[in-house]
Structure formats: structure tokens, C-alpha cells
A and B are shown apart, each in its own frame.
Chain A
Amino acid sequence: MISFYGSEISYFQVITAAVFVVCGPLVGGLIAGFDRKITARMQGRQGPPVLQPFYDVLKLMEKEPATVRGSQDFYIMTSLIFCVITGVFFFGGGNLLMVIFTLTTADILLVLGGFASNSSYSQIGAERELVQLMSTEPMIILLTIGLFLAKGSFGVAEIISGGPVAFPYLAGLFIGVLYIFTIKLRKSPFDLSMSHHMHQELVKGLTTEFSGRTLAAIEMMHWYENVIFLGFIFLFFANGTPLWWVLGIVVCLFLYFVEILIDNTYARMRWQFTLKSAWAVTIIFGGANLLVLYYLHASQLLS
């Protein structure tokens, strides 16, 4: 046990956090690789090797450095650091409120990076990234409240190690989280800010003006983020028993597959639709779910 500003952190938590820092990009990159392979197969193509995302990032590191504005690189690197910190809080079993806080900071820094250059593509991309953030944030906050009501704690360590399985209590929130999952993964139909596939009207949106190492950093940040979001979905199922852990991971993988399917079958939506629909889903499913939880609490069916 280590004492850290009044909270007790076990060595196990330190280890899981360290595992995330090292393995996060490996898992995220592999998922991206399978994503591209499966996408290709869905389109009747053979597709790139599974390790292709790693080749891409290593390639980007080899390119000559070029920056439009110095502040640009600073924002992106800080954004990556905040993303790693988010994962450390999350996989170290830390407080969900801190996780949300650092995750949003990482995203805002990315937006600032987009605004740093005067390119219209990158400006539009940054604006759209803000819209995406606005669409997803309410749902994530409701999810945190829901998890607290169901499990009695904001701590990830407590949530995954005991108590009832949260899923039955949070079914409505689960639907809401699924909806914003696509927005957070920046996949079609919600790839507003970066256009998931290149060669479109947006060029590459927010990332248009980035190249070389900085682009590699954005890519790695995306991998970290994806792993963290899969972690959020895992929270619905974990209760400390191996059966539910396995089930949680299987559900995560299945949902990612569904995301790939959606990615391949939908064209991009407008930002207006993204915002309105995300908030509608949040209010209807998330709000209703929270009301039910409060009722359960009031009638002491859930302690």
C-alpha cells in the first residue's frame, strides 16, 4: 500500500496502470489493425497486414519534422500526455471523475492544436471536434452518476471488484453509451472532425496540418483513447468474478465489431444531427435510467 494524498493505492493498482501505459498502444494498434483488415474484407478486398497501423506510425516517425506553428506540437504532445494520465487513472483504479476531467482536457488540447494553424480544413475539423465533445460529454457524466448510484463508488477499483453487475441497473445508460461510442471512436457516421478515411472533402480535418511525429502522436493518442472507451464499456459488466470479466471483454470486442459494421454502412452525418441525436439519446435513455435508479434508492431496493 502506498499512501498518496490521503488515498491508499495498492501495488496492484500501480502495476495495472503501468501495464496500460506500455500495452495501451499495443492493444489499441492491434485493434486498429484488425479494424482495417475486417473493413477490407467487408469491402471484398484482401486488406493490409494486421500490423499495418504500427508500420504507419513508425513511418511517420521517420519523416522529416515540419511544423506550421510551434504551439501546435506543444498542444498535441500535452494532449497525448493527458490521454496517458487518463488511462493511468482509469486502469490504476482511480476516480472516474478525475478520468473524465483529464480526458476532456486531452480532447480540448487536441482542439487547440487544430485551431493553432490557419488552414481552413483544420479549423473546421477543430470546430467539429468541439461539437463532438459537446455531444458526448453529457452522456459520460450521466454514466458516472449512474455507476455511482449502482455501485456506491466513483472509484474504478471498487466498481470492478465487487457489488452487483451494473448492466441490469444501467441498461438505459448502456444504450446511450453505445450511441456516443461511435462519436468517440470518430468513426462513420460521426467522423466529423477527422474524416475516418482520407481523400474526402475535409481532407483529414483536424489533422490536416500535422505531419511526421506529431501525426504519429495523434494516432497513438487515438489508440489510447479507444482502449479507455472499451474500458468504460467493460465497467458495465465487471463485478470481480472471472466469468463476468470474460463476458465483459467479449462484449467489448463484439461491440467494436458492430462499430466496424456501422462504419462501413453509413455515410457521414451533419454536425447538427450528431448533436441533437446524441443529446436526445442522452436525455431519453440516460435520464430515464437515472430516474429509475433514484426510485430504487428511495424505495431502498438498492443500497
Chain B
Amino acid sequence: MAYVTKSPWVIHYDGSSCNGCDIEVLACLTPMYDVERFGIINSGNPKHADVLLITGSVNEQNKPVVQQIYDEMLQPKVVVAIGACACTGGVFRECYNIIGGADQAIPVDVYVPGCAARPESIIDGVVKGLAVLAEKREKVAKGETVTEGEQAE
């Protein structure tokens, strides 16, 4: 039984987004969408988190930060890239300092499109991530090393 799917704690990191997607992530926590229904808690601590929600594109300055947060999280873990920026670089793609989407820094498991991504699709993305989480949990239980970025599509 993968209990991790019943209690996915998320950590939210804002790369260089316009803050549109961040507001939508926070909207998920409000009474209107109430993600705690699924046991989802917004934790500010990578060591406690199972899901990394990343908004905005990656640039030279925040690349090491994103990588450190990812490394501090314990397996099983998944990364959900939220919004066009986090998926591909979005409107910031052509900027001189932008490297691209979140997958340029860390392995991403689920891509949630939209500008801004709607709360419904964010929740949908996290729920999709749960399936990946369950898969990784199997591997951790068997003592196998989880090959990172394997599930990225």
C-alpha cells in the first residue's frame, strides 16, 4: 500500500514566474479548492515534502537553488512543473538569462500547461503525479535506486 499517495506534502518554489501561477497554486489551498481534502499540505520544508511544485522558468541564478531543493527531498518524490514558464520557459524564453523550463535543472515528472495554469489543472497535475509517486514508492520498497527523470515525457 502506497500511503504516500494519500498524504502528499508539497513544497512550492517560484523560479522566475510572473507570480500568476503562484497565486493559482495558493488558490488551491483556499476553501474554494481545499486540497487538504486529499491530504495535501503545503510544507515549506524540502525534507518533509513529497511533491515539488515549481512555477516559472529557470535562470542562471536560481538553477542551483532548484537543484538543492530537489536534492534535499527524499525519495519517493515527484516534480510538477506548473505553467507554460515552468514547462518550456514560456514568455520569458527569449530573455538573455533564461535557461528554459524547470526540466533544464531537474527531472520533471508532470507538466501542467496553461498561462496561468488553473487551480483545477494544478490539482489534476498533482493527482497525476501521485501515480508516479506510487511507482517510485514500489522501487524504494524493493530497495532499487530510482532513476531520476525516467518518467519525464
Binding site for B on A (CB under 8 A): 36, 40, 43-49, 52, 55-56, 58-59, 61-64, 66, 198-200, 203-204, 208-212, 215
Report the Cα distance A289→B9, complex, angstroms: 46
Q: Is the CB of A208 within 8 A of B45?
A: yes
CA distance A46 to B30 in the complex (A): 11
B contact set with A: CB distance below 8 Å: 1-4, 6-7, 9, 31, 34, 36-39, 41-45, 47-48, 50, 74-76, 137, 140-141
Contact B4 A62 (CB under 8 A): yes
- A-B CB contact pairs (8 Å), 9 listed: A48-B38, A52-B7, A59-B3, A59-B6, A62-B3, A64-B74, A208-B45, A211-B48, A215-B48
- Chain B residue numbers with a CB within 8 Å of A64 are 74-76, 140
Chain B nearest CB from A119 CB (Å) reads: 10
Contacts A52-B7, A59-B6 hold; do A198 and B43 have CB atoms under 8 A apart? yes
Q: Contact: A46 with B37, CB < 8 Å? A: yes
The residue that B47 contacts in the complex, of A36, A56, A61, A66, with Cβ under 8 A, is A66
> B residues within 8 A CB of A211?
47-48, 74
Q: How far is the CB of A199 from chain B (nearest CB, A)?
A: 4
Task: How many A-B residue pairs have C-beta atoms within 8 angstroms? Tell me.
Answer: 82
* Contact (A203, B44) CB under 8 Å given A45-B31, A63-B74: yes
A63 near B75: Cβ-Cβ < 8 Å? yes
Kindly state the separation between the CA atoms of A198 and B34 in the bound complex, as whole angstroms: 16
Contacts of B3 in A (CB 8 A): 55, 58-59, 61-62
Supply 4 further A-B pairs (C-beta < 8 A) apart from A55-B7, A212-B74. Answer: A44-B31, A52-B39, A199-B42, A208-B47
Please indicate the chain B residues that have their CB under 8 angstroms from the CB of A209 in the complex: 47
Asked if B37 and A204 make an inter-chain contact with CB atoms under 8 angstroms apart, the answer reads no
Give the docked Cα–Cα distance between A211 and B47 (Å). Answer: 6
* In the bound complex, CA of A56 to CA of B76 (Å): 14
A198 and B45 contacting across the interface, CB-CB below 8 Å: yes
Report yes or no: A204 in contact with B140, Cβ–Cβ below 8 A. no
Contacts A56-B7, A56-B39, A198-B45 known; A66 to B34 CB distance under 8 Å? no
8 closest Cβ pairs, A-B complex: A58-B3, A55-B6, A199-B44, A45-B34, A198-B43, A44-B31, A59-B3, A211-B47
Query: How close is B98's CB to chain A, nearest CB, in angstroms?
Result: 27
Closest to A36 in B: B36
Given the contacts A45-B36, A46-B34, A64-B74, A204 and B7 also touching, CB distance less than 8 Å? no
Q: How far in angstroms is the closest Cβ of chain A from B144? A: 11
Q: Closest CB-CB distance, A15 to chain B, in whole Å?
A: 31
Q: Kindly list chain B residues whose C-beta atoms are within 8 Å of the C-beta of A40.
A: 34, 36
